[in-house]
A = this chain, B = another copy of it.
């Protein structure tokens, strides 16, 4: 099926492989009238591009984006916005040794099982480079959200065993360390841990947390397009994600109802909650509080250690993956989490405009 299109009103279609001619996205359904330049998008692509530091692949890509359509005289026109990033530094020959065998933890085997063969160069479509399209599209969604005063902030909550308790967050420090952790001390410990991983030709995983502020109450479409359901699809669509939880998440299973319920109270005439165990979502609809959720990423499956595996012709073999790989994907995935969150939210915000007749009548009276 056509699995590369996401969204109902604000819709992205991503395309491209790691070692093809390029990567891109078509953003359709973006409202007309948004100021948009390539810089607006480049800023986000730069956060995920490779070669930024010792924990990211040495692949040398500028990931320069070109707007091909949908913008006229600096503003979106309401027509599809096509964005193109050319691949530049493809070392396809690095992958000749994996053309005929399946890397453990990768999608090589499953792509062959599904499609009969695959573009084996750098993982093809299942490469992390696929997220360029998401980030480029997400940059537009984030710019739109900003127009409504909604902010999306993701950061690395844990790497390997180093998890920052919420009480020790210092958000100003997120951009002061290459791991995007909101606590420099933890970031330093995590760095040492990652250095050790690299020395051992091994890799690590971690948790990304995301907070959304100023989202109005009422967003989400029960019963199958609940806010959390849509976010969960969005998060699990990112490679390497193995878990997702909202608010108190898995820990709610060992609390009591009397502890987990967030009591309401009135402040300045507004309905508020004393606590936010729910993470800002009740019944699949935003409740006006901060949205909080976490996503678990597995360790990068590409490791230089020799691993047992099989060839596509059915023989046992051993594989040592060379090529250029991140020992951890979490830091570069932070912006991907923000992008997928924004894409989900903007679509649900637009869908919500139809929820009440009185609002629609007022809209068309204007």
Contact = CB atoms under 8 A, between A and B. Distances in A.
Q: Is the interface of A mostly helix, strand, loop or mixed?
A: mixed
Interface string A216-245: 111111111110111111111101011111
Given A4-B26, A144-B357, A363-B359, A285 B102 contact: no
How many copies of the chain does the oligomer comprise? 4
A89 to B, nearest CB: 17
A266 B11 CA distance: 37
Given A13-B80, A105-B282, A261 B353 contact: no
Contacts of A262: 104-105
A119 B77 contact: yes
B247 A242 contact: yes
A15 B78 CA distance: 11
B1 A225 contact: yes
A5 interface: yes
Contacts of A274: 308
Contacts of A264: 102, 104, 109, 308-310
Contact of A236 (B110, B202, B219, B229): B229
Contacts of A205: 252-255, 260
Interface stretch (A43-51, A62-70, A167-175, A178-186): A62-70
Contact of A237 (B117, B216, B223, B352): B223
A200 B2 CA distance: 48
A152 interface: no
A338 interface: no
Most chain B beta-carbon contacts within 10 A, residue among A7, A14, A84, A252: A252
Given A236-B284, A350-B353, 12 more contacts: A3-B224, A16-B69, A31-B359, A33-B356, A115-B355, A148-B364, A201-B258, A224-B233, A226-B237, A239-B283, A255-B298, A266-B316
